[in-house]
Structures are given as C-alpha cells and as structure tokens.
Amino acid sequence: MFKSFLRFSHRELVRSSKPRRSTKHQAPSSREIPSSKFQNYFKDTAQGFHKKGLELGIWSFSGAWSLVFGACSVAILAAALFLSSALAPCAHGSFSSLAPESKAVKVTTERANGVTHFYVENKELCEVTMTFEMALTHLRGSTQFPYTATFPAGKVTEAFTLTSDGPEAKWEYSYTNYYKLGSNCTQHDDSYSYELPYGAGSTFRVTQAYDGSFSHKGSNKYAIDWKMPEGTLVHAARGGLLVKVKDDSNKGGSSMKWDPYNNYVLIRHEDGTLGHYCHLQKGSVKVAVGQLVKTGDVIARSGNTGFSSGPHLHFCVFRTLNGRERESIPVKFKTAETNAITLVEGHSYKAAETQTASANTAKVETRPQGGTR
C-alpha cells in the first residue's frame, strides 16, 4: 500500500527568514517544483526523516491566488510515503505486500478559475485503486469523501475537483491518499478452473488451504501453500499480463523481519484479478514485466525467500477493494483426476496436462480500463 499526505491553502504554510527562491507571479494554477531545488531553503523549517519505511519529503508549489487580489502566494506540500507490509502470514511464513514504485503513480493538481483539479497519473502496467481522505475549509468537492476510484494503466485521469465557496473565502485543504494495484470494479470469473502451478504429472502436498488455522485469515483467507523443494519449476496457473516481479533476494527466515526479502511474480488475469506467486528462488523468474503469459508457462522456480520457515510455494488470487484493502478469492483447480476441485489441506494433488489452446488461455487487455465505485 502506498500513502501520501498533502496540505495546501491560499496562504503560505511554511515561512523562513531566508529569501524565497521563486517570487514570480504565476497564472491561477499550481505547478510542482522539484524538492531538490528547495533543499537548503527548507533546511531550517522542515527535515526529511526515515523511520520504519516512512519517508517525509518537502515539495513547494507557487501560484497566484487570484488576479482580484493582485498578488501571489506560495503553498507548500508535505508528502509522507510509507509501505505497509502487515499482511497475514502463510503456513510457512508470509508474503510481503506489493511495493508500488514511488514514481509510478502520482497525484497532481491544477488550479484555474477558482477550481482545483486533481489528476492521477498511473504508470503501472495494471489499474490502481486509490482512496482519498480529505479535510476541507470553505471548499466543495465534486464527489463525497472518502473517495475511492480505479485509475487505468498508462494514463492521466482527472479524479475530482474542489471549488471555493467564494472569491473572498479563506480556503484550505489537506488530504491523505492510499493506493493498491488492481481494480475495485473486478468481478472474478468463478467458472474458471485454475491449473496447478507446477509441472504436468508432478504431485505436491497442500500444507495450508483456505481458512487455514495458522495464518490464512482476513485478506489472506483464500491462499494455498504447497510444500515444494527449492528450485522446482513454477507454472502459471492462469494466463495474463505480468505486471510486477521481484527476484533479487536470497534471504529468508521464520520472522517478519525477513518479509521484505520475499521474491514474487504478479499476473493480471483477463477478468482483472491478480495472481500472486511467492517465496521464489533468487534470479529464477523466466518472464519479463509486460510479457503476456499463457496458462502453463514456466514463470520461475520455487524457493524459501522472505518470511518463510521452509521451502514452499504460496499462491493467491485477489481483487482490490480500496486504497488500503484487498480480498482473496476462492478458486477451483484442475487436477489429473477432476476438472474443478477445491483443494484440501493435507492432501496431495497431481497436475493434469496443461491446455495450450482453450478457453483457459488468457485473453488479456493491453490497456485495462478503470472506473469508480
């Protein structure tokens, strides 16, 4: 989960005895100025800090309040970015939360004619769902808050607007936004039967299934763990677009401190759900971000990275609810014995021959669409 906190008003929020570096009057809109240019300027009034993955940076915006007032004022934005990894663990450990890149999704604003427009730029390869929490003074939003919406990949989309109560109003707003990969408009295709994520004819034992007593609760309720030797080839249980990969770690252990070292592959399916394969071996991913993967394709090798007390493969299908939450989805698997079965803890399952050209072959949109709810 990605979070930022921003504050803006008609008046200057941070003052310094040092001269302001930009004093030009601007058109009635806001423009971001790189924080690096103001590093020294804000030295006495703001400091960056790091604590448990939390980063604070300072940005400065300048712009005219209105031509009626005949002067311009400066607004300061404070951004707090942190990555949460407090997800429920699996039978042999846990999988880490996905780490959106700090520059992949941006919120920008533009003020014109008394209206502030909010835009979301999404450079991820799949949709993102973002939630805004807003505090307003003498401003009206074009939507109700908290506000959650899904924003399509590869686009800049207007999210909402804020309008002041009047030209004389002393307006101010502050907001916090969170986002997660995936769409809150997704409806899982429950008729789909997933392949077992290992080679045809291979058999592996399920060590923790749905609603497992050890750790499969909450958003992790419908995950599956298979006990699996390190280096076992992992196959795509369902085809789709590979949107996220991490395989640079060779570390793992039986406590949460190892969670950031989890290697994983994330695949977006045709229906907008996401398939998550975790604890993979270092350097073993066989596919590239942006590649279309077919059902049964080899994608990596299993491992023991991250929060994991023993070699195993963790697999989960999920959809995103809002900027903070996601939920796992119960799915059925095809085995050598049956076409659609719910896996049971303690049982072993033999993989069937993978279909290479069937309804189970992914049909992936190259530009996933967004929406609101």
Output the pLDDT for position 217.
72
Among the ranges given (15-24, 121-130, 180-189, 300-309), the one the predictor scored with the smallest mean pLDDT: 15-24
Dihedral over Cα of 95, 98, 347, 211: its sign = positive
Structural domain span for residue 142: 2-181
Q: Which of these ranges, 188-197, 264-273, 358-367, has the smallest mean pLDDT?
A: 358-367
Evaluate whether residue 294 is within a structural domain. Answer: yes
Q: 230 with 127, same domain?
A: no
Residues 352 and 263 in one domain: yes
211 shares its domain with 358: yes
Tell me the two tokens of residue 349: 């399952």
Residue 337 sits in a domain of what CATH number? 2.70.70.10
Mean pLDDT score, 159-169: 92
Which pLDDT band holds residue 360 (cuts at 50, 70, 90)? very low
The answer to the question of residue 267 being in a domain is yes
Q: How many domains does the chain have?
A: 2
> Are 133 and 236 contained in the same domain?
no
* In a domain? residue 368: no
Same domain for 145 and 211, yes or no, is no
Interval 204-259: pLDDT, tens: 999 988 877 666 677 778 999 999 999 999 999 999 999 999 999 999 988 878 88
Q: What percent of the chain has pLDDT over 70?
A: 66
Give the Cβ contact number of residue 19 at 10 Å: 7
Distant-in-sequence, close-in-space partners of 69: CB < 8 Å, separation ≥ 6 = none
User: Is 208 within 8 Å of 90 (Cβ atoms)?
Assistant: yes
pLDDT in tens, 308-348: 889 999 999 999 999 999 999 999 999 999 999 999 999 99
Q: Residue 102 carries which side chain, given as an amino acid letter?
A: S
pTM equals 0.71
Domain assignment present for residue 43? The answer is yes
Which range in 29-33, 76-80, 95-99, 278-282 is most confidently predicted, on average pLDDT? 278-282
Q: In this structure, are 9 and 108 located in the same domain?
A: yes
Q: Are residues 157 and 221 in the same domain?
A: no
Question: Which carries the bigger pLDDT value, residue 49 or residue 230?
Answer: 230
**Domain identity same for 220 and 116:** no
The whole-angstrom separation of Cα 341 and Cα 337 is: 9
Q: Which of 298, 122, 289 minimizes the C-alpha distance to 200?
A: 298
HEC sequence for the chain: CEEEEEEEECCCCCCCCCCCCCCCCCCCCCEEECHHHHCCCCCCCCCCCEECCEEEEEEEEEEEEECCCCEEEEEEEEEEEEECCCCCCECCEECCCCCCCCCCEEEEEEEECCEEEEEEEECCCCCEEEEEEEEEECEEECCCCCEEEEECCCEEEEEEEEEECCCCCCCEEEEEEEEEECCCCCCCCCCCEEECCCCCCCEEEEEECCCCCCCCCHHHCCEEEEECCCCCEEECCCCEEEEEEECCCCCEECCHHHHHHCCEEEEECCCCCEEEEECECCCCCCCCCCCEECCCCEEEEEECCEEECCCEEEEEEEEECCCCCEEECCCEEECCCCCCECCCCCCEEECCCCCCCCCCCCCCCCCCCCEEC
If asked whether residues 125 and 201 sit together in one domain, one would say: no
Instruction: Identify the pLDDT of residue 178.
Output: 95
> Are 256 and 148 in the same domain?
no
Structural domain contains residue 215? yes
The whole-angstrom separation of Cα 204 and Cα 225 is: 10
pLDDT digits (tens, 9 = 90+) for 124-147: 999 999 999 999 999 999 999 999
Please report whether residue 373 resides in a domain: no
- What burial class does residue 184 get, using C-beta atoms within 10 Å of its C-beta: 0-12 exposed, 13-18 middle, 19+ buried? buried
Residue 170 within a domain: yes
Q: Which of 15-24, 71-80, 151-160, 271-280 has the lowest mean pLDDT?
A: 15-24
Overall average pLDDT of the 94-98 stretch: 50
In angstroms, what CA-CA distances link 346 with 94, 358, 363? 19, 31, 34
